[in-house]
Amino acid sequence: MILIQKFALGYFFVLLAAAGLNYVPGITDEAGLAFGIFALDLFDDLLHLVSAIWALAAALLGARASKVFLVIFGALYLGDGALGFLTGWGYLDFGIFTNASDGLSFSLFRVLANLPHIALGGVALGAGLRLGRNV
């Protein structure tokens, strides 16, 4: 397994952990917010689980599949996080389609709520483009 496949495999574990956050006692508060910052519902859990399965399949299928996963996943999650800064809602959970925009904000809450998708998406996209140059 080469490095780009290891990156995809790493995303499998990270996304699987994200899918399980709601089911670990003490992670969510009495309002249902994970770490007191954002709400994760069944749809979010399934999105993370499907993404994890996609990452695992890509890692096992090879370098080219890993590159495709990292670039597409990275672009989607990075864009979702950026849109979260702009509007308060993302598109992966359809929030942008069901809620009015809260406007641009770089408040601590908004940063913490969108940072996971910005970080996961940015690292994945960068790794896919950089490590996948010769794939």
Residue 104: phi, psi to the nearest 5? -65, 135
DSSP E strand stretches across the chain: 33-34, 38-39
Q: Please check the confidence at residue 40 and state whether its pLDDT lies above 90.
A: no
What share of the chain in percent tops pLDDT 90?
70
Cβ atoms of residues 128 and 70 within 8 Å: yes
Q: Is 26 exposed, middle or buried (0-12, 13-18, 19+ CB in 10 A)?
A: exposed
Cβ atoms of residues 21 and 84 within 8 Å: no
Q: Please check the confidence at residue 48 and state whether its pLDDT lies above 80.
A: yes
Q: For 58-111, what is each residue's pLDDT tens digit?
A: 999 999 999 999 999 999 999 999 999 999 999 998 989 999 999 998 899 899
Question: Regarding predicted confidence, which is higher, 76 or 43?
Answer: 76
Report residue 94 as tokens: 């359809």
Cβ atoms of residues 106 and 85 within 8 Å: yes
Q: Determine the Cα angle at 68 with ends 97 and 89, to 5°.
A: 20
What domain count does the chain have? 1
Cβ atoms of residues 91 and 97 within 8 Å: yes
pLDDT of residue 33: 79
Residue 94 lies in domain = 3-131
Single pTM value for the model:
0.90
